Amino acid sequence: MNMKNFFYKIGAAAFLSSSILLAGCDPEFEDDRTLSAGSLDLTKYVAVGNSLTAGYQDNGLSLEGQLNSYPNILANQFSYVGGGEFTQPLFSLEQRNGSGYLRLTGFTSTGSPITSTVTTQLAVRGMGADGKTPLLTKYTGGINNYGVPGIRVSDIKIQGYGLNNPQGFNPFFERIQPDNSFQTYLERVSTSAPTFFSLWLGNNDVLGYATAGAFASFITPTADFEANYTEMVNALAANNTEGIVATIPDVRAVPFFTTVGPTFKASLPAAVPAVVVLTKNTPTRKVVPKSDIKDANGGTTLFTLTAAPYLPLVGTATGKYWRDLARSQSPSNPNVALVQYLTAFQIDTTKMFGLSGENPFPSALVLDADEQAEIATATTAFNNIIKAQAASKNLAVFDAYAFFNGIQSGFMLNGVAYSPAFITGNLFSLDGVHPTQRGYAIIANEMIRAINAKYGSTIPTVDVTQFRAVLIP
C-alpha cells in the first residue's frame, strides 16, 4: 500500500562509520543522577531480530535507516556507561539507498499522499537464482546487528535461508552470509557471543498473514514458535548473559490497516448496504454489512488492505487486481493466468467490484472477523511464550504490545504530538507498518527504561527531536 517534520542531515563522515550514530545524538539527562551500567556488561551488545531491528522504513532498507535503527541508538546510549563498539552491515555511501524505498512526492487535490519508489544508488548486484529476488551487495565485515527484514521465528532453523537458490531465499540474510553457506540464522547468531543482547522476533509470524489478507501466507503454529524461540533465547542467554526481549504488537493497529478503512467506507455509495468478499482460497462469497466495516469510530469486521485504485470501479478496470495478481504469479504468461483466476473464482469483471457476487473483493484484500480472531489468538500465545522465556532467564522485557495499544489515542512528548495516524502521527513511515526514525528513537527510549528498571542501570535516554519523522516535500 502506498500511502515537515525534522530532517536530520547526514554528513559523509557519519555515513562512513559503522559504529556511530548521527552526529549530535546527545543523551537526555533527565536529572543529576550518575550514569551507570548497573550489573550489566555492555562491552559487546548484539541485536537479533527482523526488519524492525535492521532499521527498515518506508518499505525499504537504506543506509540512513540503518544508522537510525533502534539498536544503533541503544548502542550509542550504552557508550555513556561503558558500552563497546557496535558494527552494522551498512550499505556504502555510493549505494546508500540500499534496497530502494518509498518517498513522499506530494499530495492529490483531495489530500491523499503521492509516493514514488527510489531506484537510484541501490545496493543491488543482480538477480537471484529464483529469477525474481534482487541480490543485494555482499557485506563481509563484522556484525553486531543481525536484523534481517522478513525473517520469522519459523525461519531461524531453515538451511539455505541465506543461500541464493531457485527455491527462494531471504536476500537480506544472503547478503551477510558467505557464498554457498547452508548456515541457519540460529547457527549464525549462536556464534555471536554477546555480553548483552536484544531480541525482537515474532512480528512476521503474524504480520505476513495479516497483510496478505490471510490468503498467501500462514501463521506460525504455536508449538513451532515456542520450540524455535526457546532455542534462540537459550543460545543468546548462554552463560547467564543478560538482555532484553520485546513482545509482538497488535499488527492490526498499524496505519497499514487503520488508515484505509475509513477512506474505503466513505467511498461506498450511500445506497450500498453491504460488500461481498471471497472467503479464503475458495469461491464462497461472504456478505459483509456496510455497518460492520471498520471506520474511524471502530468496528471489527473488515479491514481493507488496498487503496483507491481497486475501489470501486466499473467495467474492465475492475480486473486490475486480478491482472496484477496474474502478472505477479506468472510474469511470463499473465494472460493465461488471468483467465485461470477468473474461471476458478467465477469472476465477471464487468460488474461493480466488491458490490456484487459476480465480482467480489478477493480474500487477499480484506481481513474479516474470523481472520482477525486468528491473529489475536496467535499474538497472545506468542507473547505469553516470549514473556515466559524472559522470566526463565531473568531478562528485561519491552512490552511492545502494551505500548502500542496504549498510544492509540495519541500522546504529547516535549511539546510534539504523536499518534498512530498515517504521516501526521510522526511515528510510522510511509509503508504504514515500520516506524519513522523518530519512532525508532521512541522505541529505543522505552527499551532503555525497561533495561534500567530491570538491571538497576542509569543509561540515559535520547533526545527524540534529533530524529526525523516523515519527510514532507
Give pLDDT, residue 392.
98
Distance CA(467)–CA(444), nearest Å, equals 12
Gap between the Cα atoms of 243 and 427, Å rounded:
25
Residues 36 and 134 in one domain: yes
What confidence category does residue 241 fall into, taking pLDDT thresholds of 50, 70 and 90? very high
CA–CA separation, 303 and 212 (whole Å)? 11
Q: Is residue 3 part of a domain?
A: no
Domain contains 424: yes
Answer with the one of 368, 398, 426 that is the final residue of a domain. 368
* One domain, residues 29 and 44: yes
Sign of the dihedral through C-alpha 448, 57, 256, 156: negative
Give, for 444, the enclosing helix (H) or strand (E): helix 437-455
Amino acid found at 370: D
Q: Are 48 and 201 in contact (CB under 8 A)?
A: yes
Average pLDDT over residues 296-310: 47
Q: Which residue has the higher pLDDT, 271 or 77?
A: 77
C-alpha gyration radius of the chain: 23
Residue 380's pLDDT is 98
Q: What predicted TM-score, i.e. pTM, was given to this entire model? A: 0.86
Compute how many other C-beta atoms are within 10 angstroms of the C-beta atom of residue 109. Answer: 5
Output the nine-digit C-alpha cell for 88: 552494522
Q: Is residue 2 part of a domain?
A: no
Enumerate residues 6+ apart whose C-beta is below 8 A from 333: none
**Residues 319 and 411 both lie in one domain:** no
Q: Which of 337, 368, 399 is the last residue of a domain?
A: 368
Residues 36 and 58 placed together within one structural domain of the fold: yes
Mean pLDDT across the stretch 354-366?
Answer: 79
Q: Which of 355, 359, 356 is nearest to 347 (CA)?
A: 359
Residue 348 sits in the same domain as residue 233: no
- DSSP-H helix ranges across 242-351: 255-258, 260-267, 320-329, 334-344
- How far is residue 262's CA from residue 289's CA, in Å, rounded to a whole number? 15
- Is 217 part of a structural domain of the chain? yes
pLDDT (0 to 100) of residue 190: 97
The pLDDT-based confidence of 284 (bands split at 50, 70, 90) is confident
pLDDT at 208 exceeding the cut of 80: yes
pLDDT grade for 308, boundaries at 50, 70 and 90: very low
Residue environment code for 393-405, b if the CB has 16+ CB neighbours within 10 A, otherwise e: bebbbbbbbebbe
Which residues, other chains included, contact 49 with Cβ-Cβ below 8 Å and sequence gap of 6+?
A: 146, 147, 148, 198, 199, 200, 201, 246
CA 407 from centre of chain? 18
Terminal-residue alpha carbon distance, the chain: 20
My answer on whether 156 and 289 are in the same domain is no
Query: In this structure, is residue 1 part of a structural domain?
Result: no
Q: Are residues 139 and 272 in the same domain?
A: no
In a domain, 4, yes or no: no
In tens, the pLDDT along 385-410 reads 999 999 999 999 999 999 999 998 89
Q: Are residues 325 and 447 in the same domain?
A: no
Q: Is residue 225 part of a domain?
A: yes
CATH number at residue 207: 3.40.50.1110
Same domain, 124 and 199: yes
Which of 305, 335, 368 is the C-terminal boundary of a domain? Answer: 368
In sequence order, the β-bridge partners of residue 461 are 28
Q: Is residue 452 assigned to a domain?
A: yes
What pLDDT is recorded for position 261?
60
Tell me: do 128 and 223 sit in the same domain: yes
The residue with cell 515537515 is 4
Judge if 364 and 278 occupy the same domain.
Answer: yes
Q: Tell me: do 31 and 139 sit in the same domain.
A: yes
Q: Which structural domain, as residue segments, surrounds residue 317?
A: 257-368
Band the pLDDT of 57: cuts 50, 70, 90.
very high
**CB within 8 A of 296, min separation 6: which ones?**
261, 262
Q: How far apart are CA 380 and CA 419, in angstroms?
A: 23
User: What local confidence, expressed as pLDDT, does residue 364 receive?
Assistant: 72
Domains: count for the chain:
2
DSSP state of 94: T
* 35 residue type, one letter: L
**CA count, 13 A, side-chain hemisphere, 59:** 17
3-state secondary structure of 378: helix
Residue 445 burial (10 A CB sphere; 0-12, 13-18, 19+): buried
Q: Are 312 and 355 in contact (CB under 8 A)?
A: yes
